[in-house]
Structure 1
Amino acid sequence: MVKLYLHDIWTTVVDMKWRYKLSLFVSTFLTTWFFFGLIFYLIAMTNNDLNTEQALNHTPCVINVATLTGAYLFSLESQTTIGYGFRHISEECPHAIVTLVLQLVLTGLAEIFVTGAFLAKLARPKKRAETVKFSQLALISKYKGQVCVMVRVANMRKSPLVQCQLSGKLLFPNVTEEGEKIQLHQESVNFQFDSSEQCPFLVLPLIFYHVLDENSPLASLTAENLKVRNFELVVTLNGTMESTASTCQSRTSYVPQEFRWGYEFKPLLFGTHKGKYVADFHYFDEIQLSNDFSLLQDPINEKLLLEHEYHKD
């Protein structure tokens, strides 16, 4: 498992939590400063620069570096391009020059990698996806004469999401024709907005529909067996942020206890005297009985139908 993470080190670093990423950022600089400072200290030691009783014609490799602390400070100054005035390399030691060049090249690449990982994490639209709101319940009612599963989705930011598409996966246990038991069998559940599978932009709250026809994996769903079925409907919204053209993805899921048969969402868009539309999110999760009573003609919803007719009278 560790090899797999190290094989794709870029994604591993980008997916790191911020506290680990900050630790990596700081440790990258501290480690490279100390590592190359230690190399310069060893070069000075090999060249006998640390001897206080040096010959008059002796030229140190790194001027004014006589301790490990001085070598560390020289490495720091070289890598951060602070500049030289007190410590600098002489022309007598080619291996010190080569070490300095290697330090600048390698640490430059390391800084690009770590800084790029920071920018990539900041630019990820993960937080943007958290501003997409799904309805708490999935409703089953009629839309344009067809029985549909309905889910309401809203964009909580003023900046719109474009090219939005809602898709679903139905997860349920299944037994194949060969007798193999599959705990999480998956089937696609296609949602659509009006007559297309994609809405141009998501500004106002919208309702997406999945038709329960013969091609639907939920075709056998009825008001009677809804509560005893064992499945989970995972719904995913894919959209593109208009401001950055980056894609974001937000998801939720519904179990049978979160379905309501014969209900529809209450309207939440209201017109103002200025000709504008206002969305009242107090009604976002509010539901009401469907006007099509044919869905309520079963023993489970008989009580609800009687209550609805009573309040109507």
Structure 2
Amino acid sequence: MESFRTSGASPKGNAEQIHFWDPFGILFIFLQHPAALSVGAQQTSKVGVEKLHPEVATMTTKSTGSILAGKASSSPLLSSAPRQRLVTKDGRCTLRPPPYPAGKWSRAWSGAWLLALQDLWGLLVNLRWRWVLLAFCASFLAHWLLFACLWYLLAHLNGDLAVQDHDHPPPGHVICVKYITSFTAAFSFSLETQLTIGYGTMYPSGDCPSAIALLAVQMLLGLMLEAFITGAFVAKIARPQKRAGAIQFSPQAVVGQHQGKTCLMVRATNLLHRPLVDVKVSAVLYEEHEGQALYQTTLDFQLDHLGQQPCPFFIFPLTFYHPLDRHSPLYPALCEGSSNHFELVVFLTALQEGTGDSCQKRTSYLRQEIQFDRRFVPALGLDARGRYMVSIEHFDTAHSKEPMSRDCVVQINGDGSDRME
């Protein structure tokens, strides 16, 4: 560190001597000579890339030299601000409702709660399990407490609380519920009535119409509550989204040759042994256009010679293809050097063989998550006994294949100057 400050050597030569475990030295060099740290980091990254991936280093040599020479880059990955994904890799939407103005916050909050209560079933089914269990316990406890208060109020208004011996009440006095002498006893009777336990100690009198009416109301509301909560539990357990969790997409898409055509390829697999039927794959391209933040275009994916027909049987990894011809919405972005930001959201829809319920799995790919001049490694093979075996470790593996068409441009600097030869 001292030699850099006193010897006057070039930043490039001394940046290689930086010890990354000395944060104060790095901070001093960065404050005194900012270019030293940036150039040193670029050289370190270049050496690491050449050691690990020599083919990638060959492709990036030209672009790195351009940057170091001062050439301006028009790549959105290098010059534009990072953008939020619309859909995460596991299919979750990242958009959030806009913040409300300070004066309208309370009104908007009450309106949101009203909309949520109108769709109480959907709200309960989509809640996490811990909140569902909390709602289950809280709803039954609130129901028992409510009717405990009503039973206690009935005993108070009827004068049962003042009776010392419920076995020998005063002449002419009809006790509505035997042995409700406190709120604890009223809560116990409410619990026994709701769960139809019937210990036999406390029971309503047939000569008290108010008790019979309150008993009927509690039973009806209790049955409705039990049916609602039980149905929500069953619906949450049997949700199709749980089955869709066993569908996995390749983390990266590849562009390569398939049957003599340049195609965009994505791979999907079914992690469970239960097959899915009528599998369809579609995609929506969200691309920035002038005058519109995100322009939506649909894309079609094909499976071998099935064309647009759904795949009738999904049990092993499948590779879906989208031809990158001049009619493809992705052609300007991938093959003509367009620098517009885009996000490709892929949807896989299938039916469960046992129940017939539809499930959907989705993921998204950004520009930097698409590899060029690649083909997926076959994930289905034969063992020594002639049985088909699925190799999960090769599911998302891509290797270099035959070169692509010269019409397809690999975006390195973003200016379309580097073509795949």
TM-score, normalisation: structure 2: 0.67
Q: Which of structures 1 and 2 has the bigger CA Rg?
A: 2
| Bigger helix fraction | 2
1:56-71 superposed matches below 5 A: 56-71=171-186
Partner of 1:127: 242
**Residue 24 of structure 1, aligned match among 123, 135, 138:** 135
For 1:18 and 1:93, how far apart are their aligned partners in 2?
43
| Aligned-residue offset at 1:146 | 2.2
Structure 1 residues without counterparts, runs of 5 or longer: 176-180, 306-313
| Shift, 1:27, TM fit | 1.2
Matches within 5 A, 1:242-257: 242-257=353-368
The equivalences for 1:69-80 within 5 A come to 69-80=184-195
Instruction: Compare 234-243 and 217-226 and name the one that shifted more.
Output: 217-226
Identity of aligned residues (%): 38
Q: Which residue type is aligned with residue 319 of structure 2?
A: I
1:184 aligns with 2:297: no
Query: Does the 8 A contact of 2:288 with 2:340 survive in 1?
Result: no
The aligned counterpart of 1:207 is 319
Match of 1:310 in 2: none
Equivalent residue letter for 1:31 = A
Matched, 1:259 2:370: yes
1:45 to 1:186, Cα distance in 2 relative to 1, 3 A: same
Question: Which residue matches 1:91?
Answer: 206
In 1, Cα distance between equivalents of 2:333 and 2:126: 40
Structure 2: give runs of 5+ residues left out of the alignment.
1-111, 410-416
CA contact (8 A) 1:223 1:300 kept: no
Partners of 1:27 and 1:296 lie apart in 2 by 64
Indicate the RMSD between aligned Cα atoms, in angstroms: 2.0
Q: Which residue of 2 aligns with 1:161?
A: 276
Partner-residue secondary structure (3-state), 1:172: strand
1:1-313 aligned within 5 A:
1-52=112-163, 55-175=170-290, 181-194=291-304, 195-197=306-308, 198-222=310-334, 225=337, 228-295=339-406, 300=418
Deviation by residue 1:201-230 (Cα, 9 ceiling, x = unmatched): 11111100112234321122445627x441
Counterpart for residue 311 of structure 1: none
**How many residues get paired?**
297
For residue 295 of structure 1, report the CA deviation from its aligned partner.
4.8
User: What whole-Å deviation, never above 9, does each CA across 1:51-78 have from its counterpart, x for those lacking one?
Assistant: 1355244221101111111111111111
What secondary structure, in the 3-state scheme, does the structure 2 residue paired with 1:154 have? strand
Q: What whole-Å deviation, never above 9, does each CA across 1:258-279 have from its counterpart, x for those lacking one?
A: 1122211122222123321112
Richer in strand (by share): 1
Secondary structure of the residue aligned to 1:184 is strand
**Alignment TM-score, normalising by the size of structure 1:** 0.88
- Asked if the contact 1:170–1:234 (Cα under 8 Å) also holds between the matched residues in 2, the reply is yes
Q: Is this contact kept in 2: 1:224–1:300, CA < 8 A?
A: no
